[in-house]
Amino acid sequence: MSESPVRRAVHAYFMQRAIELAGNGWYTTRPNPRVGCVLVRDETVIGEGWHEKAGEDHAEKAALADVDRRGGNARGATAYVTLEPCSHTGRTAPCVDALIQAGVARVVIGARDPNPLVDGRGIARLEEAGIDVVTDVVADRCEALNNGFNQRMRQQRPWVRVKLAMTLDGRTAAPDGSSQWITGEGARNDVHRLRAESGAVMVGRGTLLSDDPSLNVRLPGEWPQPLRAVLDSQLEITPQARLLALPGETLIYTASGDKARIAQLEQAGAQVVPIGVNGAGLDLSAVLADLAAREINDVLVEAGATLAGALASAGLVDEYVVYIAPKLLGDRGRGLLQLPHIQNIADAKALVIDSIEPCGQDWRITARPVAN
């Protein structure tokens, strides 16, 4: 039976609250998706919850526990969940079982779970138990909570976000190569937050050798640290590189078979991953597939013009985050992306701009490629 416009509006209202709850786990749920849940009876919230961390209660169980803490019960209630409840046993028992046992009358779902172990099975289990199921409620906003997880499940590669910083005239460095700092403190702190929400930060050989970056989160307080992925086809990285001395995991993707060099880097704390070549460089699709196999949902690329351009040319960029500083470096400064195949305006890569926001003294543009 179709829902009335008024009922759909009520569903959207409570689903928006579930989306807000899911955001509480923005930095902590990986490799799991971010999920929020609200339990409602007679248009009154009786329990709320969200997934906080892999291995801990999922949103539905957290919301049911909240009902118990409030001295109520969920029998006959409606559960609003941003993602289809899981139907398989992983680190925790299936959420559909918990909802069925609690006696909820209706489950309203924002987005379907693309995990092959779930996809549609959670819905089917609920319906088999006689529970009314409503789907696709503000699905676009619910999907947007988990771009990386969704893409890893559907395409077996992470969501790739390329971070770039440039002057107002599109330059990333002065003619002598100096680039610290083009942007101000506000933009730099924003990048640290992007690192914290990413499963991995990727850098190319050129940036590594010129900047010796740490690629870690350096904000006050406790923050999750990303895996560090270095693309270095000939193993030019030195064992004294700063990022190798830091806590956490560093992967070095290479086509080199230099056993002595590999041993040195592994002794310094890196894991060297052999990868094939594709044209003039490493096989970028294979690198991303390997990261997906390691349960990496989101990759933040902090690279120079060469790697950023190669990813763009290969159609492997899902989102650009570009910080623009109110400075000018002139036509001798270094450009943003190497895209040698572009010869005329018809070859230009079209983008959709999703947002333009102030970021301290700079501006932040978030854009994505136009879908083919």
Which residues are tagged catalytic?
A: 60
CA–CA dist 149, 292 (Å, integer)? 9
CA–CA dist 215, 167 (Å, integer)? 22
Other beta carbons within 10 Å of 272 = 22
Beta bridge partners of 10: none
Distances (CA, A) of 216 to 220, 224, 257: 12, 9, 28
Q: Which of 39, 141, 45, 44 is nearest to 85 (CA)?
A: 39
CA–CA dist 96, 61 (Å, integer)? 10
For residue 78, what are its two tokens? Answer: 């409606």
CA–CA dist 51, 85 (Å, integer)? 12
